[in-house]
Each structure stands twice: as structure tokens, then as C-alpha cells.
Amino acid sequence: MEKKYPDISFDNTELAFQYKSDKELKKANFLFNMMARPWLVKIGTRLTPWAINMGLPVKGIIRNTIFSQFVGGETLEETARAASVLGKYNVQVILDYGVEGKEGEANFDKASDMFINVINYAATQPNIPFMSVKMTGFARHGLLEKMDSLMKGHEGSLSKKFEKALYDLSPEEKAEWERIHFRVNRVCEAAAVKSISVSIDAEETWIQDPVDMLTILMMEKYNKEKPIVYNTLQHYRHDRLRFLEDSYEAAVAKNFILGSKLVRGAYMERERRRAAEKGYPSPIQPDKESTDRDFNLGVKFCIDHIDRVALVVASHNEYSNLYAAQLLMEKGLPLSHPYVHWSQLYGMSDNITFNLANAGCSVSKYLPFGPIRDVVPYLMRRAQENTSVKGQTGRELGLITRELKRRGL
């Protein structure tokens, strides 16, 4: 008997915004209207960090506008309300401690402790199967950059390059690297004990190779029976589809489950600018169509090898999300397959998240938290990427407007 699947439509605004009150929907409408004005966003993204650093009384304004739209709260405990609301609609949560850019061994140890606190907290909650970490929370950027440069200077597989690069470090740097490895392992071990998955974020190309290697080492150790550790692949890079295939071959050879979170990417302009300044070929795809193609091919590759690959479709692209569901349907697999998960950022693309959840898919919101001062860089990125009327803001506003009309508001 042929398996019955629900129809999935991302145009159902009643489902998309069912978790928002009339007041909250009007507030979102106001905020996205503001972000549709590039000149206003340009001023805001310059003045806001300055005002915070100067100690001006702007935290209340930030908290009641962009912070409440895109962030779960200032503390881990404050995320409970957002997670609880999402859980009522079968939407899960990926927790992210949103503090960025704090260097120094004491800060790295403190971040590691916080990541473990997040894991322990998530294990007590019914709908928090994932947490997210940035390797730069554990490691000095300068050492990651040196390791990456050394690795690129050697021939062979990623693991061979890694071994040769370690040999080139000074004794002090080797000791520092051991501390990084210890922190990462400590967090992944805690995650394995609590059965909480850890998604390791992607970084810029000039520090990504050692991040990839450390992540693969953690997968080899902790992904023997189920996916605990996930690597993040940015498909605006033209080499990531091949890297996905190579990672799969390593998983087969070393007998572990490959955890792959697929994204389009977050550092494109910075990457192009650095490549031009330093005179090396750009690692970025020639156009958006190439990025979309490789992303969707990556989704297909993962689902074609679902016995060995666990996939997170982390995308705001409607076609890519629907494509993943269609591939499962074609194979007669459940939309709630334990190795397939969808995710969107909190405060964006509710039409995708809640309609997927309604269809029975395993889907989450990426929910950052942290003190307002510390999550300002994250908030400024959300504002900047939402400025294009042709892009995300136009889509969000159109859906919100339609739902306001449906509610007669």
C-alpha cells in the first residue's frame, strides 16, 4: 500500500503565525517595515554598537524591538518561554549561546563551561535536541588561522595536512592546541552523555580547515551509534559539495555517522574582499544559481546516503526545504525520519517552519540567547540581511500583511 503524505504549502499564513498574538504580529510588521529601509538600517547598525559601548540607555529599545524578534532571551532560563511556545506547535529548538569574539584562555574555558550548561539544560527540556557552538568560542583566531595556512601548504588528505601542520607548531602552540582539543572534546563528551546533538558552526575559509578536522575527529569518536556531532557546510563555497562527498567516504572508512548541517553561508562579501586583497582565487561560487544547485545536490546526496548521513536542512529557501521533503516521499521514508531535520532562524521564515511542523517534519528554530551587549553583532547581521525588499524582508512583510488582513486587523 502506498504511503500517504500530507500536502505541504508555505503559503498558509494561518499556520505560519498561529503562535503570534495580534499585538505580536503588528509588532513584527512594524519591525520588518523598518528593516525594509536600507538607510535606516545603515544608521542603526552603526549607532547601536556605539550607543551600547558608550553606556547610553538604549537597551530597553533594543530589547523590545529587534532583540525580542530574533533572540530567545538574555539568559538560558529566559529561553524557556520561547521554547515552550514553539513546542506547543511541534517546533523544536537549537540553542545558541550568542556571545562572539571574546579571546583569551579564561574566556575560552568560560565559554566551554557555558556550552556544557546549555547541554545539561537542553537535556531537561522536551523539545531541545540540538545546541550550536562556534569553534572560535574555544580557540584563538590567530592560531586557527596559522593552522589553516600550514594545512593549505601541505599535500594529501585533510587528516595528513592536519598532522603535518601540528608538527610545524612551536611547543607553546602545540600546548595551546591541546587545550583547544580538550575543550571541544569535553563539550562533545557531555553532549554524548546527555544525547544532545552539537552543531559546530562554519567559519571563514582562512580558519575552516582545522575546524573541519577537529569536527571530523569528534564525529569519529562520538557518532558511532547515533549522530551527536554535526559539521556545517557553507555551499556558497564552490568546494563544499566535494567536501561533503569526501566526508562521507571518511565516515564509511572510519565507521561513523556523518552529521551534516547544510547552509548557503554567511561570510560571502568578506570572503570576496579578502581574496581580492590578497590575490588568491575567490572560494565563492560565481553566482547564486551555483550556490542553489550545490545546496540542493548536497541535500540529495545526504538523503541518498541516509543510512550513513544525518542531515540538517538549515535554509530559508522554500524550494530547498520542500525538495528535502519530496526526496523522502519519493523513497517512501517518513517525514519524521530521525536522520533528517529542518531548521530556520528564530524570528524569520515562520511560513516554512510551522508548515513543516504541521506536516510532521522534525523542524526547529535556531534560538540564540545572551546579554544584549554580547548579542548585538548577531542582531546587526539579522538587520543587514533583511534590508533587501527583493529578499527576506519583502517575503516576510508580504506574509505578515496577508495574515493581518486574514485576521481583519
Q: Which three cell numbers stand for residue 351?
A: 511560513
pLDDT at res. 39: 79
Q: Model pTM greater than 0.75?
A: yes
Q: Which residue range is the domain that position 53 belongs to?
A: 13-406
6 within domain boundaries: no
> Rounded CA gap, 409 and 21, in Å?
11
> For the segment 66-101, what is each residue's pLDDT rounded down to a tens digit?
889 999 999 998 999 999 999 999 999 999 987 666
253 within domain boundaries: yes
7 within domain boundaries: no
> For the segment 14-44, what is each residue's pLDDT rounded down to a tens digit?
999 999 999 999 999 998 888 888 778 788 8
Number of domains making up the chain: 1
390 within domain boundaries: yes
8 within domain boundaries: no
3 within domain boundaries: no
394 within domain boundaries: yes
Task: Give the Å distances, CA to CA, from 50 to 42, 43, 44, 45, 59.
Answer: 13, 11, 10, 9, 12
Collect all residues with Cβ–Cβ distance below 8 Å to 156 and sequence separation of at least 6: 164
2 within domain boundaries: no
The one-character DSSP state at 154 is: S
CATH of the domain at 281: 3.20.20.220
> Rounded CA gap, 322 and 271, in Å?
29
> For the segment 265-322, what is each residue's pLDDT rounded down to a tens digit?
877 778 889 889 998 999 999 999 999 999 999 999 999 999 999 999 999 999 999 9
pLDDT band of residue 1 (cuts 50, 70, 90) is very low
Collect all residues with Cβ–Cβ distance below 8 Å to 254 and sequence separation of at least 6: 220
